[in-house]
Chain A
Amino acid sequence: GQQLNQSPQSMFIQEGEDVSMNCTSSSIFNTWLWYKQDPGEGPVLLIALYKAGELTSNGRLTAQFGITRKDSFLNISASIPSDVGIYFCAGSRNNDMRFGAGTRLTVKP
């Protein structure tokens, strides 16, 4: 299956700071998705992207679908303590959906 490289692996930030994480792949995808997962729970969809170059926001979250269709980034602005968790990117094409390794975010009050 396709391999997704997600970075950084972990981040420790102060409350109020902005955060950026990204995913790259050697394969193209038709859809990029960003999820947040809390311990013991299923991933929760944050943002879905469908077009190359698309920039989409959801509150303090902004994500972009790369022009080459092989990458995507997620930005979180003005972080708050409840942003703590693991963020996963996922790429999807022809019903095949794969995940990056995740970015573990810690927010210090």
Chain B
Amino acid sequence: DTEVTQTPKHLVMGMTNKKSLKCEQHMGHRAMYWYKQKAKKPPELMFVYSYEKLSINESVPSRFSPECPNSSLLNLHLHALQPEDSALYLCASTTAGGWNTEAFFGQGTRLTVV
């Protein structure tokens, strides 16, 4: 099973709303990632969790708040977003450590901020 499951697939939210994106994997991977992808651009790294601890934060605005409640789950809490935050948000997982192996992606959450 190389599946990474993201929910919801689509999300429309207002600028005053609070919502959460969810990601789940059962491959035993201990590194999990959030990426943001704008149209016709590559995925852009936001956060990395390694062994449930935040290891990389690419200076992402505080209106994005990641959480890793256990080794299989990764959340991204959203609050007071801006229209320019509309994008495809991708979750990925891989083995943790200096030598990462295959990394698998979920199908993404298409987020629209209105």
Contacts and interface: CB of A to CB of B under 8 A. Distances in A.
Interface string A9-41: 000000000000000000000110101000011
A50 B96 contact: no
B92 A97 contact: yes
Size category of the A interface is: 20 to 34
B56 A96 contact: yes
Contacts of A33: 102-103
Contacts of A62: none
B65 interface: no
B56 to A, nearest CB: 6
A109 interface: no
Interface of B: 4, 6, 31, 33, 41-45, 48, 50, 55-56, 58, 88, 90, 92, 94, 96-108, 110
Given A40-B88, A43-B43, A95 B97 contact: yes
Given A40-B110, A42-B108, A101-B42, A94 B98 contact: yes
B71 to A, nearest CB: 14
B29 to A, nearest CB: 11
B99 A42 contact: no
B100 A30 contact: yes
B42 A93 contact: no
Given A41-B107, A42-B108, A95 B55 contact: yes
A48 B45 contact: no
A59 interface: no
